[in-house]
Structures are given as C-alpha cells and as structure tokens.
Structure 1
Amino acid sequence: MPQSRRKLHIKTFGCQMNAYDSERMAEALAPAGYETTEAMDGADLVILNTCHIREKAAEKVYSQLGRVRKNKQARTAQGRDTMVVVAGCVAQAEGEEIIARAPVVDIVVGPQSLHRLSDLVAKAESGERSVETEFPADDKFTALPKRATGKRQASAFVTVQEGCDKFCTFCVVPYTRGAEYSRPAHAIVAEVERLAGAGVREVTLLGQNVNAYHGDGEDGATWPLARLLRRLAEIPDIARMRFTTSHPRDMDDDLIGLFGDEAKLMPYLHLPYQAGSDHILAAMNRKHTAEEYERLVERIRTARPDIALSTDIIVGFPGETDADFQATLDVAKRVGFAQAYSFKYSARPGTPGAALDGQVPEALKKERLAILQAQLDESRRSFDHATVGRRIPVLFEGKGRKPNQIAGRSPYLQAVYVEGPETLIGYIAEVDISAAGPNSLTGVMNAGFEWREPIQAAV
C-alpha cells in the first residue's frame, strides 16, 4: 500500500449501470492507493465513464476531454502528474480513435474490461498507454474485488445481467456491451448479503435486459429473474427490491405474479415501449406490437393495481408519419405512465437505423417531442397528485434541500421530503403526503410510526 493516498475523480455519464461500474472501478483502484474526490483539479487520476446512448455522445466526451487537458496542463505546471482514462460505452465504440484525437488520454477501457483497470493503471505509470476494448473470456465480476462496505448508504445498485441479444435497430448496446450475460445467482446473493450487512435496505438489480436474466442457480438449475428475486427476498435485512430495465418480451407470468406475491418487490416497473405504431415498432425490431404491450400492462396491473409504470419513448424514428406519432401519443394516454423518458431519435453510427430511408427533419422531431413531453408531464403530475392524502412508507436516504429536512423514496420511486432528524436516515417510516410539487412530494412524519432497524455501522 502506498504511504500517501492518491486522488481519483470519476465523472459518470448515462445510465445506472454506469454508476455501478464507476463504484466498482473506485473499489478496484483502492488497493493501489486511490481514494475518490469530487474535485477534478485535485485528482491524480481522472476517469470519464461514458455513455453512447444519447445524441452526439462521443463529441460530448471529446469536449469534456478538452477541459481535462487544460486541468492536466495546469497540474503539470505545478509539478503534479495526472493520468486520464476513458471508460464505458464510448470507449468501446471509439477505441484507438480516442487516443488519436485526444492524446491527453492514457487508457481507453471498455465496460467488459473494467476488472483490468488496476493493471492498466500500473502500466500507464511506467509510460505504457493501453486500449482494452475486446470482450474478454474471463468474468469481470469474478475478477473485481468484493463490494466495499465502508460507505454508509440506504440503497444500492447491483448489476445482475449485461448485454443484449435483441438488436433494436436504434441501439448500440449489443455492440458496446456484447451478448446477454447473466451472473451466477450465488455471486449476486453474496454481494447483496454483504451490502445488507453494511446497512443497505434496498437493492435495485440492473441489466440492459434485466428480465432476460438466466443465471446459474444455487441448486444447479438455471434461474429466471423471478427465482433470483425470491431468493434475495429471503435476506432479512433487505426490505425493498427493484429491477431495471425490462423488455416487454421477457415479462413472464412468474415475474408478473411476483409483484402481487412478494411484499419486498416495490410497485414500480420501468417497461420501455419506444413507439405506439406497429409500423415503427417493426422498423425498430422491437418484436412486440402496441396491442401486445397494452395487454401486458393489463396483466401487470391485475397483479398489482397500484403499480407505477415508467417507460422510454423515441420520437422521429425514420419513416415516422403524423399517424405513427399520434399512435404513440394514444398509447401513452391510455397507459398513464407515472414517469417517462422521451427522446428525439438520433442515428447511432453502425446501427441499422442510421441507414434507413425517411429520416425525419430535426425541426419536426423537436416539435413532436415537445407535444409528447407535455402529455407525459401531465400524466406524471396526475400520478403524483393521487398520492396526496395517502400514508406511505418512505425509505430515508439522505439530507434534504432545506435545513432540518431529510429525503427519501416512496415505494413508487418518488422523491419525498419531510422535516426530521438525520438520525432517521436508513429507516423506513410512514409519511403522510401533504403536497405534490413539480418533481417531488412533501409530507409529515406519522407521529405513531414504527420503523425498521436503522443502518448499522459499516463493516
């Protein structure tokens, strides 16, 4: 162990899986003497953990690298070295091009090679640059260190599945994350048990297609996601479970039924439908129709009537007509989403969608997105306002925005703020919801509430 700690700054772009990967990179580098810092100008090692889903993702990374370069130059003038790493999906997609365009970068590493980061850093310290964007045969989760438990937290992400075999024509995930892979159940159980022992009360299982999970079970059989969730529910200190992101084609009866049968599984489901037109869905290679999606929603709501549904929607996919767009609006209206993420289509290099005829003009995409988002915002406000007057359990996760305020999450993943002492962080308590704001709920603590065990000291 080095005598003095070195500083590590990680900037995370994109999805929750990237947030998980960033945590794991910090843990992997801790034995080499690195501790995290929020200040880039004080960091000996800077990592950009990138996402390739959004429009002009690569250009945004190069823009950020321009700021990193200036910071490195300033530190060099002070006699301090700075190592720069580009990780994640842009790293996977761009590879050698990153170092060619941005010589400030020392290491380019894809998401499937994160377990090699410590070795790559050691090589870079001796002047050897590295580009690791292959899909290695070894399992990165096995090679990574056990989850660190020194950080006091109420909830945690756990990646259980990576990659995608669906090949939607707009999506780069199969090319940046590879084929579907599911971690063995025993490894996930051990990770969650370790987190629970450190005080984590809620876990969110992550995967590009998390409900396609098909990992080796503890009994030797292949377990689907529902079986894994049942096993995790047996861990006493875990009070809440969630999972994201799901594909409609992989929502089987057991998983749907679990929403009604397992109290620890929270009533929230992110279920992208992307478009309401069968013509566009076929062009996207989504492998479901709008009617099939709505029938699936009916089955889910039969199992759990109060469930909060969220979704992803793309407007302006090539060939989208006014009628196609109206069909998307109609599905969103009928389903009534509690939350939604909507985007203009942007062509991702190397995907089939980028070569399709009928690209929609940017101005029209912008207009359609504004219409859709206004409708979705109304739906979200309606769901939030329906919570006012209810008494709901809230898991408190941290301090609020105002003095004497603490913040938590409802079972429906809504942000909730109440007045209360910080000692309640880590408790699940009943809250009477009094108001719904633009992005959160406020309430008052039920005077007679009974709470679960608090977060224990970290081990």
Structure 2
Amino acid sequence: MNVYDSERMAEALSRDGYRETTDIAQADLVILNTCHIREKAAEKVYSDLGRIRDVKDARKRDGKETVIAVAGCVAQAEGREITTRQPAVNLVIGPQSYHRLPELIARTETTKERIVETEFPGDEKFERMKTPRRVSSPSAFLTVQEGCDKFCTFCVVPYTRGAEFSRPLAKLEAEARELTAAGARELVLLGQNVNAYHGEGPGGRSVGLAELIRSLANIDGVERIRYMTSHPRDMDDDLIAAHADVPQLMPFLHLPVQSGSDRMLAAMNRKHTAAEYIDLIARVRAARPDIALSSDFIVGFPGETDQDAEDTLALVRAVGFAQAFSFKYSPRPGTPASSLEDQVPEDVKSERLQRLQALLDEQQSDFNSRCLGDVVPVLFERRGRQPGEFVGRTPYLQLVHAAADGDLVGRMANVAVTDVRRLSLSGVVQSGVIAAA
C-alpha cells in the first residue's frame, strides 16, 4: 500500500512540475513514506532523516532550498514529535491527507512554517487525487479499502490508518479502466483488510470483495487479479467461490494467521482459532485445489510459551505454505500488547523465529520444486540483471527468470521451468506460445 501511495503522491506532484530523481543531492523535495508496523521501521525514519538533513544543509550552502516531508504511518502516529526530534523536517503528513500534499508543500515553501497534517478524511483523499494514473509495470496496484476495525492487540493500523473505509465500485471500475488503458494487465487490489471491502454498488447497495473482483474481471485488458491483505474472519463463501469461478483471479491467497496457539490468538484478539483457520483453508482448497498459500506469523508475543511456539509449528505442518512472512514481536506504542507483562526475552524470540523460518523455507522450497519440468504462464514485469534476461511471475506469485530475444516486458508467455531455487524459478520461453492468464 505504501508503494501505491508513493505512486499517487508522485502523480499529484507531477502537475506542479516535479519529477522523480535517483540522486538525492538534486532533490528539491524529499518525501519519506513510512511504515509503523515494526519498531525497526519506525526508528529507521530518524536515521534516514539525519542523512537527509546533511544533504539539505549542503544544498543550502550552494543556495538551494530543500523541503523534507515525512508521510505515512509514522507521520500519523508521531505527528509533531517528528519535527521536534528533527527540526529539518518541513512537513508531516498522514496517509489520509495525501491529496493536500501539493498545497501543503507550497505553503511551507512560502511561509517557512513546519506543518503537521494528520486528519482522517479517507473518502476526500481518493476523490481529490484524480491525476491520471501512471503505469510503470504490467502489474498495477489499486487500493480498494483502507483502515481496519479489528483492533488486534499488537497492531497500530486502526490508530494510523483509521476505521475501515471502502471505495465505491464505480470509482474502482473507472480507475481500473484507466490502468489497463495505460498498459496494466494485472490488478493487485490493496487494503489493510481487503476482504472486508464493502463499497457502494449499483442502487446504493453494499458490494463485497467477490462482487468487485467479478466486476473488474469483465473489464477488457484485465488478465490477472490478486488481492491482499486479508483477515480470516472476512473470508466468506462468495470470495471462496470466486477463486473457483473467476479465471482472472490468481490461485494465490495471503491469509495471515499470526499464531497456531489458540491462547496466543485470543491474546492477540484475532477472533479465530487454529482449527477454524485450518478448516477455512480446507474450504478454499476444495474450491481451488492448486491454490498457493501465504501467511504472516508473529513469534514471541507476550506470554508465549514453548508449547505455544510448538503449536505454531504444528499449524504450519498441517497447512503447508508456498511462502510466508514471519517476525519477532515488536511492541508498538499505544497498542494494548505493548503494556502486557511477561514479554518474551529477545534470545528466546530469535531461537523460535529461526525454527519457524527453517520450516517455512523448507515448505517454500518444496512448493517451488514441484514446478520443475512444468510449463507455467508468466507475466513478465521487468528486465533482469543479465543481458536478454526478463523477470516475471507465475499465477502463484513465484519469480521467474528467463532469457529471450526482443522485449518480453508486459507480455505473457509460457515458460518451461528448468531450474528451481527457494525464492525463484528459471526457465525457457516456449517460442511462439503466448500463455493464458
């Protein structure tokens, strides 16, 4: 979602003559778009701001002014604390106020005041950010929902992104057509809790994610659809059926479980049990047997015992994942879990994470190994590092490297898999064959 937001900010600023640069010493405006989900990400902001301040000072000695803005969830959570800790920052702007970015930058340039803007007008944000969408890849992000009402005890999202807000179906259809007209062939539907989508549809009725997917699949040029990130509580029968019925919906599901221990799940306020999650996965697989599964895991949540950690490993073995993200618990200020007693020692977290990641890595390698010798449809997204090499993704979100004459970027082609690694596949493009989605 931060990638999507960064793209939209760049599009809005382009109307005022701004263009992106890879050389920070040439930048009149530097924006840090931040994440607050883990402590390291938040602390990295202040480390980066120190380096950017030095660039700003050097440019000032050459008679050049530099505006520094901090955007995203750290901006929302910490507000004026950022300008207090780092006075070189001119603007702090939360994720629901990006539509005001051009006017706020102009204001700080004129008045030299430091501005903090952290309101929550989500609907106004999307209504006013109507700049033409730019497409730099055949796979394009489309934010359909923001915010979360679940209030998991470890999570800052309800406090930094606000309550759940879903965009109207007609607005999303229009943006999707704009993206496909600009060259997108795959749409990745985004939301902090994307399967809680409940946008306004025809006649003012509420539309769920499954109906949104079916509608977008009918748009010319939409060949692939993905969505993330989901919550098990919102994985309804219609959405499961869409995985069986909609050819454009890719057989890949990222469905965070966080833990395999019912005791930990209750402490996290997840409102589901390990057995319910496993049953849900069985229903999804019944609808789409070849689906690849991904998840999130938190290791070392306060009060986690050795048995709780073993329960998580047991769930991983029971489900089988194609890939997953796993992290040590990181207390976030203001969340209920941050004040819980019985915090797990760091060395214990590290040992448990190592064991979990070893199992997840083994499952990812096994999943990829089963593709050896298969012919898979690949949507190529970019050039690789080697001459003539291109990089794309399978329907299961695996990275694929393949060589070809000409230009494969933006094209779909069948690839025979000849080599398998844990994180990627390599193969040979089947000449004269353009793949189905």
Question: Given that residues 52 and 89 in structure 1 are in contact (C-alpha distance below 8 angstroms), is that contact kept between their aligned partners in structure 2?
Answer: yes
Work out whether 1:313 is the aligned partner of 2:309.
Answer: no
Distance of aligned partners of 1:252 and 1:138 in 2 relative to their CA distance in 1, 3 Å threshold: closer
Distance 1:372 1:23 in 2: 34
Question: Given that residues 377 and 436 in structure 2 are in contact (C-alpha distance below 8 angstroms), is that contact kept between their aligned partners in structure 1?
Answer: no
User: 1:80: how far off?
Assistant: 1.1
Q: How does 1:163-174 map to 2 (within 5 A)?
A: 163-174=147-158
Distance 1:452 1:313 in 2: 33
Work out whether 1:141 is the aligned partner of 2:126.
Answer: yes
TM-score normalized with structure 2 length: 0.98
Greater shift in the superposed pair: 92-101 or 423-432: 423-432
Q: Give the aligned partner of residue 366 of structure 1.
A: 350
SS of match in other structure, 2:19: strand
Q: How does 1:300-379 map to 2 (within 5 A)?
A: 300-379=284-363
Q: Give the aligned partner of residue 132 of structure 1.
A: 117
Q: Give the aligned partner of residue 237 of structure 1.
A: 221
Counterpart of 1:213, as a letter, is Y
Question: Given that residues 399 and 422 in structure 1 are in contact (C-alpha distance below 8 angstroms), is that contact kept between their aligned partners in structure 2?
Answer: no
Question: Given that residues 27 and 145 in structure 1 are in contact (C-alpha distance below 8 angstroms), is that contact kept between their aligned partners in structure 2?
Answer: no
Q: Give the aligned partner of residue 104 of structure 1.
A: 88
Distance of aligned partners of 1:19 and 1:259 in 2 relative to their CA distance in 1, 3 Å threshold: same
Q: How does 1:5-44 map to 2 (within 5 A)?
A: 17-44=1-28
User: 1:450: how far off?
Assistant: 2.8
Q: Give the aligned partner of residue 74 of structure 2.
A: 90
Q: How does 1:168-317 map to 2 (within 5 A)?
A: 168-317=152-301
Distance of aligned partners of 1:333 and 1:138 in 2 relative to their CA distance in 1, 3 Å threshold: closer
Distance 2:123 2:166 in 1: 13
Question: Given that residues 123 and 165 in structure 2 are in contact (C-alpha distance below 8 angstroms), is that contact kept between their aligned partners in structure 1?
Answer: no
SS of match in other structure, 1:346: coil
SS of match in other structure, 1:438: coil
Question: Given that residues 88 and 110 in structure 1 are in contact (C-alpha distance below 8 angstroms), is that contact kept between their aligned partners in structure 2?
Answer: yes
Greater shift in the superposed pair: 415-424 or 102-111: 415-424
Work out whether 1:68 is the aligned partner of 2:56.
Answer: no
Distance 2:138 2:173 in 1: 18
Distance 1:326 1:85 in 2: 44
Runs of 4+ in 1 over 3 A off after TM superposition: none
How large is the Cα RMSD of the aligned pairs? 1.3
Distance 1:77 1:241 in 2: 50
Work out whether 1:54 is the aligned partner of 2:26.
Answer: no
**Percentage identity across paired residues of the two chains:** 59
Q: Give the aligned partner of residue 404 of structure 1.
A: 388
User: 1:152: how far off?
Assistant: 4.2
User: 1:447: how far off?
Assistant: 2.5
Counterpart of 1:87, as a letter, is A
Question: Given that residues 399 and 423 in structure 2 are in contact (C-alpha distance below 8 angstroms), is that contact kept between their aligned partners in structure 1?
Answer: yes
Counterpart of 2:168, as a letter, is P
User: 1:361: how far off?
Assistant: 0.4
CA displacement, residues 311-333 of structure 1 (integer Å, 9 cap, x when unaligned): 00000001100000000001011
Distance 1:202 1:193 in 2: 12
Gaps of 5+ in 1: 1-16, 454-459
Question: Given that residues 268 and 308 in structure 1 are in contact (C-alpha distance below 8 angstroms), is that contact kept between their aligned partners in structure 2?
Answer: yes
User: 1:138: how far off?
Assistant: 5.2
CA displacement, residues 68-119 of structure 1 (integer Å, 9 cap, x when unaligned): 0011111111111110000000000000110011000000000011111111
Question: Given that residues 361 and 422 in structure 2 are in contact (C-alpha distance below 8 angstroms), is that contact kept between their aligned partners in structure 1?
Answer: no
Counterpart of 1:383, as a letter, is F
Question: Given that residues 406 and 422 in structure 1 are in contact (C-alpha distance below 8 angstroms), is that contact kept between their aligned partners in structure 2?
Answer: no
Question: Given that residues 405 and 419 in structure 1 are in contact (C-alpha distance below 8 angstroms), is that contact kept between their aligned partners in structure 2?
Answer: yes
Question: Given that residues 276 and 329 in structure 1 are in contact (C-alpha distance below 8 angstroms), is that contact kept between their aligned partners in structure 2?
Answer: yes
User: 1:58: how far off?
Assistant: 2.7
SS of match in other structure, 2:214: helix
Distance of aligned partners of 1:21 and 1:422 in 2 relative to their CA distance in 1, 3 Å threshold: farther
Question: Given that residues 311 and 339 in structure 1 are in contact (C-alpha distance below 8 angstroms), is that contact kept between their aligned partners in structure 2?
Answer: yes
Identify the match of residue 160 of structure 1 among 139, 144, 162. Answer: 144
CA displacement, residues 351-373 of structure 1 (integer Å, 9 cap, x when unaligned): 00011121100110011001110
CA displacement, residues 419-453 of structure 1 (integer Å, 9 cap, x when unaligned): 11352211111111111123210011113413579
Q: Give the aligned partner of residue 417 of structure 1.
A: 401
User: 1:147: how far off?
Assistant: 3.5
Distance 2:410 2:333 in 1: 44
Counterpart of 1:153, as a letter, is S
User: 1:128: how far off?
Assistant: 2.6
Question: Given that residues 123 and 129 in structure 1 are in contact (C-alpha distance below 8 angstroms), is that contact kept between their aligned partners in structure 2?
Answer: no
Counterpart of 1:338, as a letter, is A
Distance 2:362 2:123 in 1: 47
CA displacement, residues 8-29 of structure 1 (integer Å, 9 cap, x when unaligned): xxxxxxxxx0000000111111
Counterpart of 1:57, as a letter, is A
Distance of aligned partners of 1:226 and 1:402 in 2 relative to their CA distance in 1, 3 Å threshold: same
Question: Given that residues 395 and 410 in structure 1 are in contact (C-alpha distance below 8 angstroms), is that contact kept between their aligned partners in structure 2?
Answer: yes
Distance of aligned partners of 1:401 and 1:438 in 2 relative to their CA distance in 1, 3 Å threshold: farther
Gaps of 5+ in 2: none
Counterpart of 2:163, as a letter, is A
Counterpart of 1:102, as a letter, is Q
SS of match in other structure, 2:10: helix
Distance 1:75 1:120 in 2: 22
